[in-house]
Amino acid sequence: MPAVVNQTLRALNRFGLGARVDEARRVRDPRGWLRAQLEGGAPVVTPPPDASPAAIVESIRAFRMIGQISEPERRQARRRLIEIAAALSRAAFTERVRSERPFVERLVAFWSNHLCVSAAAKPIVAPLAGSYERDAIRPHVLGRFEEMVLASAKHPAMLVYLDNFQSIGPDSRGAQAAARGRGQRRGLNENYARELLELHTLGVDGGYRQQDVQELARVLTGWTVGGFGGGGRGRRRTRDSCALPPSSDVAVRRHEARQTLRQR
């Protein structure tokens, strides 16, 4: 095998998704091919019509009415969530297979796995997972890690998957209102804060303490999903291409005390 073909195969297999038929012979400059992979932003994936943001919103609203509808309607609502998730998965897989920039697609797959959400964990996460990869991961794979982490943290899929949409400052106005109105005791949820430190950023041996997890959870209170976490005055919604808008209920749900994280 000629040396240049061997080098090309090494580039296509190690940095891409494997060589296509005759691709090793068509790529004459493996180093140039690899450099060209990084030019421009990540390829855009368009959601299929039957899995548009509007369709996702409608399917989630139908599912959340599950206690008010009949058994056949309940099964149909769950089936619709699965159908949308499958359509988005097919669209992403098709882009990955057909792309002329497989190195970027490999990066998308890597970072989607690192900052992962589980479509199997909660039914509502399934139709949001495709939007999560498309809108929170893909645009940032050639950019700054901190911007990707922030986009991940604010996306409805992550907010729902690790329960931050329910996290509320125990002494906040929102918690006090819930206690007065419905007798419910609301408080912090540390799931996402712990995942953010342990898996997404510092690592399990990153030197943080349980106190840091709690303080970070307090910092993140107020980040919820429109229509999920309850209303309240002071809500400020942000524009987003996701099906369900992330929103900031900081004035109502935020823990008011000063938070201090360990600096290292």
Tens digit of each residue's pLDDT, the chain (264 residues): 566 568 999 999 999 999 988 888 899 999 999 999 999 999 999 999 889 888 998 888 888 887 777 888 888 988 999 999 999 999 999 999 999 999 999 999 999 999 999 999 899 999 999 999 999 999 999 999 999 999 999 999 999 999 999 888 877 777 777 667 666 667 889 999 999 999 999 999 999 999 999 999 999 988 888 755 444 433 433 334 455 555 544 444 455 434 555 544
Domain that holds residue 227: 164-253
Q: Are residues 25 and 61 in the same domain?
A: no
Residue 164 CB coordination number (10 Å): 27
Residue type, 52: S
Both tokens assigned to 240: 């987003």
How many structural domains compose the chain?
3
Residue 51 is assigned to a structural domain of this protein: yes
What confidence score (pLDDT) does residue 235 get?
A: 40
Strand order in the sheet with 236-237: 223-225, 246-248, 236-237
The pLDDT score that the predictor gives to residue 223 is 85
What confidence score (pLDDT) does residue 101 get?
Answer: 95
172 and 124 co-located in one domain: no
In terms of domains, do 130 and 193 share one? Answer: no
